[in-house]
Amino acid sequence: MSRPEVPSSKLFNRDAEGYDDLRRRLIPCFDDFYGTALKLIEEWQAVEEIEVLDLGAGTGLFSAMVSARCSVGRLCLLDGAADMLERARSRFPTGDRIEYRVDDMAEADLGDEKWNLVISALAIHHLPDEKKRDLFRRIRRALKPGGLFVNAEQVAGPNPTADDRYSRVWLEQIRELGVTEQEIEKARERMSYDKCAPVGSQLKWLSDAGFSDVDCSFKAWRFGVLSGRN
């Protein structure tokens, strides 16, 4: 039996068209943000052909970046928004090495020791903290020995003052990049479902889940790249 649609997924389905172009403008540090995540993966790549699970894959943007730089033998894109995954299909050739899975990552069965690499970009922050902690534990179990988890994420500040600063700077930056007030309003509507957590808390949860080499390799205001190895 299929699970009910996550409320935020309705908004991502609504905004699927043009989402990739908007994402670049909504992330002022786009190149460094994704570039750091990709560099982590390139530095780590332990086997010639990797099996990759992308959680909250959306339109497949992050998976496409990984596939362009690494030899990917099998790829699973998991997202709760079916329309976003339909956009992802246009990025990749047809074939049985790619799976598109409409599911809620908070509840999905990720398997045990199935993946060399688990990635996520701007998705896990939609979960409550306890669900984040549970997902980190399930991700570690889903990774093969020596596997890597990379989470390019939206994070909270260490206190409300920092959060206010992040929001103010973000608005200044995206307006300079040409984001319209209508686009900002839609982004804020999607962000109403955000449950961001500070970097320090998330690094602790990764360590508690059993990850090693836990690190935040990049942070610019509300954007950070977190990782850990199994």
Per-chain mean pLDDT for the chain: 91
The per-residue pLDDT for range 166-222, each reduced to its tens digit, is 999 999 999 999 999 999 998 888 888 899 999 999 999 999 999 999 999 999 999
Q: What is the pLDDT of residue 99?
A: 95
**CA-based max dimension of the chain:** 49
Of residues 128, 135, 136, 148, the one with CA closest to residue 44? 148
Would you give the DSSP letter of residue 176?
H
Of residues 62, 65, 68, the one with CA closest to residue 77? 62
pLDDT at 3 over 90: no
pTM for the whole structure: 0.90
Exposed, middle or buried: residue 164 (CB in 10 Å: 0-12, 13-18, 19+)? exposed
Locate the DSSP E strands across the chain: 50-55, 72-79, 98-102, 115-121, 143-154, 212-220, 223-229
pLDDT at 15 over 50: no
- Strand order across the 98-102 sheet: 98-102, 72-79, 50-55, 115-121, 143-154, 223-229, 212-220
Domains defined for the chain, CATH in brackets: 7-229 (3.40.50.150)
Q: What is the pLDDT of residue 61?
A: 95
* Strand, helix or coil for residue 116: strand
Torsion of the alpha carbons at 188, 193, 199 and 204, rounded to the nearest 10:
180
